[in-house]
Amino acid sequence: MKLSMPLMYAGNPREAADQVGELEKAGLDTVWVAEAYGFDSPTLMGYLAAKTETIEIGSAILNIYSRTPGALLQTAAGLDNVSGGRAILGLGASGPQVIEGFHGVPYSKPLARTAEVIDIIRRGLKREPLTADGQFHLPLTKEHGAVTGLGKPLKLLTRPERDSIPIYIAALGPKSVEQAAEIADGWIPHLFHPEKAHLVWGDSLEAGKAKRPGDLAPLEINANAMVAIGEGPETKALLDFARPVFALYVGGMGAKGKNFYNDVAVAYGYEEEAAKIQDLYLSGKKKEAEALIPTDWLEAANLVGPASYVKERLAAFREAGVTNLGLTPATEDPAATIAQVKEWVS
């Protein structure tokens, strides 16, 4: 199992990025750089490429709406070049709040657009002309970032570092997870509960894998968890640091009936809690919403406790199919924590 980490920053990503060198020495395999509606991801990824030597650098995620397929191809090829072949392209549909509220682009046909974009990027990396008549034969319209019908199709001018770059899809809904299992190199879920993940995504993963092309390697899975190793109640209390994040997604990421993360909570069996959390969060009572996040979910989704317990959780994530575990250390010495966990998973 590889170890990765989302780049955590609050206002100054440069300072956070400067710490990645120590994490690389400690054995971190991959760093993921988010892009919501703050700083862009590729700029930070290029900065990381210059500050590191071996670590994989992934976007988590670039949305498929605000850049054309050609622009995403350029970004992937450019990052792979400056990193010496260490780029991972994490893509996702994001959601209407960001796509329409920040980028001003209609949020439509996410599955079709995802398939088109990935097909175009893969063929573009092989320096084939950028047309939308590849494997999926899906028509691109001007609204969807068309590259056909507007002029003579061109191929990438420069020669990429690699003619194939790992492409991960961040997905939660049944159809989007099925799509990830069919066409992506990797899948990025969120709020992952190892023992209950199969209740939510098991059927979708199996359906997608059944259609997976033979030239694709087995699907990689990257799930995230907080980690803190130690005895006593003070360590266990660190789980409360995860409550605001869980409450934000379950309660605040979308209106009622349009929140993918709330749907996941319901599928896990937390239907009553999910409804109350959403009501409280949307009415501005965030602390009360945080208090209702089920403790057993927090315990299962994170690695917080004595070494023996953390090892048990590592085994649970591995058993659930996770191949790259994203860790957020809640410790004074993140590099030492990464080194310790790396020893256990090696």
- Is 157 found in the same domain as 37? yes
Among residues 254, 118, 224, 131, the alpha carbon closest in space to that of 176 is found at: 118
Write out the residue range of the structural domain in which residue 273 sits: 233-301
- Is 318 found in the same domain as 213? yes
Dist. CA 83–CA 12, nearest whole Å: 22
Q: What is the pLDDT of residue 193?
A: 98
- Is 160 found in the same domain as 36? yes
Q: 287 with 293: CB under 8 angstroms? A: no
Indicate the Cα dihedral angle 13, 14, 20, 21, nearest 10°.
180
- Is 127 found in the same domain as 25? yes
For the stretch 65-121, pLDDT in tens is 999 899 999 999 999 999 999 999 999 999 888 899 999 999 988 998 999 899 999
- Is 165 found in the same domain as 276? no
Among residues 178, 176, 220, 185, the alpha carbon closest in space to that of 64 is found at: 176
- Is 191 found in the same domain as 145? yes
Amino acid letter, 260? F
- Is 148 found in the same domain as 160? yes
- Is 245 found in the same domain as 220? no
- Is 290 found in the same domain as 275? yes
The mean pLDDT value for 326-334 works out to: 95
Largest pairwise CA distance in the chain: 66
For the stretch 253-268, pLDDT in tens is 888 988 989 999 999 9
The structural domain count of the chain equals 2
Dist. CA 193–CA 223, nearest whole Å: 9
Q: What is the pLDDT of residue 159?
A: 96
For 51, how many CA atoms within 13 A lie in the half-sphere containing its CB? 19
For the stretch 278-319, pLDDT in tens is 999 999 999 999 999 999 999 999 999 999 999 999 999 999
- CATH number of the CATH domain containing 125: 3.20.20.30
- Is 282 found in the same domain as 164? no
Can you count the helices (H) and strands (E) in the chain?
A: 16, 10
Average pLDDT, the chain: 92
Q: What is the pLDDT of residue 138?
A: 42
- Is 319 found in the same domain as 296? no
Crossing angle (nearest 10°) for helices 307-319 and 334-345? 60
Tell me which H or E stretch contains 31.
strand 30-33
- Is 174 found in the same domain as 27? yes
Q: 162 with 125: CB under 8 angstroms? A: yes
Ranges of beta strands (E only) in 267-317 are 303-305
73, burial (CB in 10 Å: exposed 0-12, middle 13-18, buried 19+): buried
pLDDT over 80 at 10, yes or no: no
Q: What is the pLDDT of residue 247?
A: 98
Residues 6 or more apart whose Cβ sits within 8 Å of residue 125: 73, 76, 77, 156, 160, 162, 163, 164, 165
For 204, how many CA atoms within 13 A lie in the half-sphere containing its CB? 19
DSSP reduced 3-state for 170 = strand
